[in-house]
Amino acid sequence: MIDDVFVFDGVAHPFNFDSKNALNRAGEMFSNHLYAFHAALTPDNEPKLPPEEFLRQWTVGDIRTMVYDQSDTDMLVAMPLPLTDLYRDGLSPWEECADLAARDPERTVFWGTVNPLEGRAALDLMERQVGEYNARAFKFYNVRYDYGSPFPWRMDDPKIAFPVFEKAQELGVNLIGVHKGVPLGPQPIEHTQTWDMDGAAANFPDINFVIFHVGLPFLDETCWQLIRYPNLHASLAATINFLVRAPRMFAEILGKLLFWCGEDKIVYGSEAPIFHPQWALRAFMDFQIPQDLCEGYGYPQLTDTAKRKILGENLLRLHGMDVQATVGRLGRTPRS
Amino acid sequence: MADVLPLVLDALRDVYDPCCREKGISVVDMGLVRSADVGEDGAGRVELLLTSGWCPFAARVLTEVRERLEDVPGMAGADVEIVWDEAWTTDRLSPDARRKLRFLPDPAQVPDREAYIAAHRPSTPTGPEENSCDR
């Protein structure tokens, strides 16, 4: 807990940046791109890793140490990243994430992932990830690769997307995350836009969808979607890491989200190990929206209640977990 | 060459920043072109504003604009520059782009949030407003 606030981190990836894992120049470029994110957004007074320490295979033990031993995080989502055209193992394979979750079954939650373009094979894998590995949700990426080419798909596609949503429901899963906004390497960015979320949310009102990396690039449009669909939610993963370098930009993003979408629809994610979780957690707890933005634009202030919801309570609720019962069950207390 | 801005804008009307392609909003409609003229060497010069300094596609847009500029009759080359001394604002959007994108007012201009949402919400609350299933 940070101060007395329960922290449920919505995304960490056990990355395999080993140079032998990259299949091609695009994979190498993407690894360097993530390293640039680390170097550019980590505050100057925090440890920045040299490339040789960052661009390596991160073990599940490394992630556990960073998230649980070195930060005030209480629970974590182990999140796969299936860039199978850029890396031999996709960069953060689901099997590694399942292993990470199995190390702390009370604290770490596994989200599965499949390629909906694979049809029956995808549905079978969903069954396996839920049945054998206790996947509590699924994360989807709208550009998948095969044979060296990108194959984009949409969240509102009745033939590609809806079967996996129906399968999730059949398996008792009603939480689905989707990567949006930030291009993952040289992929067509059109399909990382949120325009397809209306159709997904409208056709599956009993599934809660989390739009990751909210804020880039059309925040107003995304807000209007979040307003209209009670089952759409926004993750600040990566967005929160602009907090120290660009606090006013972050304040504008958060101010708009708080006013239009409300504090109940925003969740936190660290993106460890790209960013060490602790500095952003501390900065967020200490953060206030600048008063001139509150007075000039009418943004609501970021209250202690809102921080509590954003850092943990909202994501617990989306997983169907009771806040008090979970805190009590885990016996969490503020780190000394 | 006289005022070349209209000529250049015409040449760039189907150049898209990847973020805006799906909405059909060109770099011209986004208001990214600040100025266009022809130098003494006969080369076209265009100044571009970016919507955000974080834009990962600046190089791609820059290249495409340069290529289109080189194709403009009478241009002896092309020189495209991103300028940073002026911030892009939504005031630069064309009326067409403004219609295609939704911009929410500053909260200070919204005395009653619920009333605003109710007034702008589509009539079928669970139906997609602009569902684009038709691929």
Q: Does B57 touch chain A (CB under 8 A)?
A: yes
Closest chain B C-alpha to A282 CA, distance in angstroms:
24
Nearest CA in chain B to A160: B133
Q: Does A300 touch chain B (CB under 8 A)?
A: yes
Contact call for residues B17 and B32 (beta carbons, < 8 A): yes
Of B106 and A69, more confident: A69
Which residues is A232 bridged to in the sheet?
A209
Q: Is residue B121 part of a domain?
A: no
* CB-CB under 8 Å, B56 with A156: no
Strand order in the sheet with B44-48: B33-38, B44-48, B78-82
Q: Is residue B47 part of a domain?
A: yes
> Is the pLDDT confidence value at B131 over 50?
no
Q: Is residue A1 part of a domain?
A: no
Which residues touch A334 (CB under 8 Å, ≥6 apart)?
Answer: A1, A2, A3, A4, A72
pLDDT tens string A188-209? 777 778 889 999 999 999 999 9
- For residue B93, what is the domain's CATH number? 3.30.300.130
Of B39 and A257, more confident: A257
Contacts A–B by Cβ distance under 8 A = 79
* CB-CB under 8 Å, B106 with A297: yes
pTM: 0.84
Nearest CA in chain B to A298: B108
Residues 161-190 of A with CB under 8 A from B: 183, 188-190
Residue B122: list chain A partners with CB under 8 A.
Answer: 228
* CB-CB under 8 Å, A217 with B52: yes
Domain count, chain A: 1
* CB-CB under 8 Å, B101 with A218: yes
Closest chain B C-alpha to A252 CA, distance in angstroms:
10
* CB-CB under 8 Å, A255 with B104: no
Q: Is residue B119 part of a domain?
A: no
From CA A269, how far away is CA A182, in angstroms rounded? 15
* CB-CB under 8 Å, B130 with A198: yes
Query: DSSP assignment, residue B105?
Result: P
Q: Does B123 touch chain A (CB under 8 A)?
A: no
* CB-CB under 8 Å, A300 with B132: no
Q: Does B135 touch chain A (CB under 8 A)?
A: yes
pLDDT tens string A265-317? 999 999 999 999 999 999 999 999 999 999 989 999 999 999 999 999 999 99
| Mean predicted lDDT score pLDDT of chain B | 81
Q: Nearest CA to A235 among A212, A219, A207, A254?
A: A212
Q: Nearest CA to B5 among B42, B43, B39, B45?
A: B45
Nearest CA in chain B to A157: B133
Token code pair at residue A42: 């980590």
**Residue in the block written with tokens 């340069």:** B66
From CA B6, how far away is CA A309, in angstroms rounded? 52
Q: What is the pLDDT of residue A335?
A: 65
Task: Among B51, B104, B132, select the one facing A195 at the smallest CB separation.
Answer: B132
Q: What is the pLDDT of residue B126?
A: 44
Q: Is residue A292 part of a domain?
A: yes
Q: What is the pLDDT of residue B133?
A: 29
**Span A313-330, average pLDDT:** 95
**Span A246-262, average pLDDT:** 92
Q: Does B130 touch chain A (CB under 8 A)?
A: yes
Q: Is residue B24 part of a domain?
A: yes
From CA A95, how far away is CA A85, in angstroms rounded? 17
Q: How many CB atoms lie within 10 A of CB B97?
A: 19
Q: Does A151 touch chain B (CB under 8 A)?
A: no
Interface test with A, best of B113, B129, B131, B134 (most A CBs within 10 A): B131
Residues 20-59 of A with CB under 8 A from B: none
Go through chain A and tell me how many residues it has.
336
Q: Is residue A121 part of a domain?
A: yes
Q: Is residue A3 part of a domain?
A: no
> Is the pLDDT confidence value at A156 over 70?
yes
pLDDT tens string B50-104? 877 666 667 778 889 999 999 988 888 899 988 877 878 888 999 999 888 878 8
Q: Is residue A181 part of a domain?
A: yes
Residue type, A52: E
- For residue A300, what is the domain's CATH number? 3.20.20.140
Domain count, chain B: 1
Residue B22, domain extent: 5-99
Closest chain B C-alpha to A58 CA, distance in angstroms:
26
Q: Does A309 touch chain B (CB under 8 A)?
A: no
Residue A280, domain extent: 8-330
Task: Among A188, A199, A220, select the one facing B128 at the smallest CB separation.
Answer: A199
Nearest CA in chain B to A227: B117
Contact call for residues A280 and A247 (beta carbons, < 8 A): no
* CB-CB under 8 Å, A220 with B102: yes
Q: Is residue B124 part of a domain?
A: no
Residues 242-281 of A with CB under 8 A from B: 255-256, 259-260
Of B55 and B129, more confident: B55
Q: How many CB atoms lie within 10 A of CB A36?
A: 11
